A and B are shown apart, each in its own frame.
Chain A
Amino acid sequence: MAEIDRPDLLSNYARSLGIEVSGFEDGVPVLCVSGIDAIEGRPGHFHGGATSGLLETAGYAALRVALSENGEDAQLKPINITVQFLAAAKKAPLFAKARITKLGRRSANVTVEAWQEERDRPRASAVMNVMIQRIEPGDS
């Protein structure tokens, strides 16, 4: 795994928000954002928008890794996202990891969970549909 040339997993937006790739589990990227001011909503807690940004970025990152492992290059575009806010996320490191439930020719369906100290007590989850526009090697 370590030898594979990994695709860029973070957008400008994700990097600017402070999102980092904290590691890989079974080849799936685990993303993290720490409790910085840029994520704060009500005092001491994550803003729902920041939590959603992490979830969405983790979904894209998992797709980019999966496509890269298939030797495919593709442009990803959002179709939709539904976020469930399960518990308030404290202003502390928040992690997220996605599961690709379907990787089709034109779209993918991805579920994502975000957690803090207790992995089995997620703070938020998301389902997203993503448009996939594959770039053939000959295309310019």
Chain B
Amino acid sequence: MEKQTSPQESPHRDPSAVFDPAAASPFLFAGGHPGWLGLAYRAHGEDWTELTLPWREDLVGDDVRRVIASGPIFSMLDMGGGMAIWTREKRFVPVATLDMRVDYQRPAGEKADVIARCECFRTTRSAAFVRGIAHDGDPDDPVATMAAVYMTIGNASGGAAKNG
């Protein structure tokens, strides 16, 4: 597995900047777990983001079928959920996932890329609520659905992102 290092300059960590998921994605997905997964930005709206997880042999979870395992789908939904919060809030705020549930409706298609669409439908001073789906081409025929609660870390009102 190739090693990737996090960039020193990360515009998304500038608390004064408006969070733009398209612009932040190259930095968010440059290294670490998201980089290892190979996540890519796909689309976004006011309060939602879409990410793509390209199929890869070493993300397969089943000996029989060549489908992406449930673990990487969970990771992508977790990441997409955080980005949906920042997109809705229009700024980067450090958050931590508190509780996340994923229901797996069916396996993804063989060698299919998986797409996650996550929507932050409510934020309070200290919590953010997200729902999302994962699909492999047809959003009306999801592979998985998710529901999650995230908590803001530290001084949320100040938007201090240094320990994000």
Binding site for B on A (CB under 8 A): 8, 11-17, 37-43, 46-50, 52-53, 56-57, 75, 77-85, 88
**B75 CB contact (under 8 Å) in A16, A47, A78, A88:** A47
Of the A-B pairs whose beta carbons lie under 8 Å apart in the complex, a sample of 9, sorted by A's number, is: A11-B63, A14-B71, A16-B59, A37-B3, A38-B36, A48-B96, A52-B71, A80-B101, A82-B99
Contact B71 A85 (CB under 8 A): no
Give every chain B residue within 8 A of A80 (Cβ-Cβ). Answer: 101-104
Give every chain B residue within 8 A of A52 (Cβ-Cβ). Answer: 71, 74-75, 78, 100
Measured between C-beta atoms, what is the minimum distance from B68 to chain A in Å?
A: 8
Q: Is B79 an interface residue (CB 8 A)?
A: yes
Measured between C-beta atoms, what is the minimum distance from A20 to chain B in Å?
A: 14
Q: How far is the CA of A75 from the CA of B62 in the complex (A)?
A: 9
Binding site for A on B (CB under 8 A): 1, 3-6, 31-37, 57-64, 68-72, 74-76, 78-79, 94, 96-104, 107, 163-164
Contact B71 A57 (CB under 8 A): yes
**B33 CB contact (under 8 Å) in A8, A41, A88:** A41
Residues of B contacting A: mostly: mixed
Contact B61 A13 (CB under 8 A): yes
Give every chain B residue within 8 A of A57 (Cβ-Cβ). Answer: 71
**A56 CB contact (under 8 Å) in B36, B58, B71:** B71
With both beta carbons as reference points, the residue of chain A lying nearest to B31 in the complex is identified as A37
A50 and B33 in contact, given A12-B57, A37-B4 (Cβ under 8 angstroms): yes
Contact B96 A40 (CB under 8 A): no
Which 6 A-B residue pairs are closest in the complex by CB-CB distance?
A49-B75, A47-B33, A40-B32, A53-B71, A16-B58, A38-B36
Give every chain A residue within 8 A of B35 (Cβ-Cβ). Answer: 37
Interface-central residue, A11, A13, A16, by most chain B CB under 10 Å = A13
Contact B104 A49 (CB under 8 A): no
A43 and B6 in contact, given A37-B32, A85-B96 (Cβ under 8 angstroms): yes
**B97 CB contact (under 8 Å) in A48, A56, A77:** A48
With both beta carbons as reference points, the residue of chain B lying nearest to A80 in the complex is identified as B103
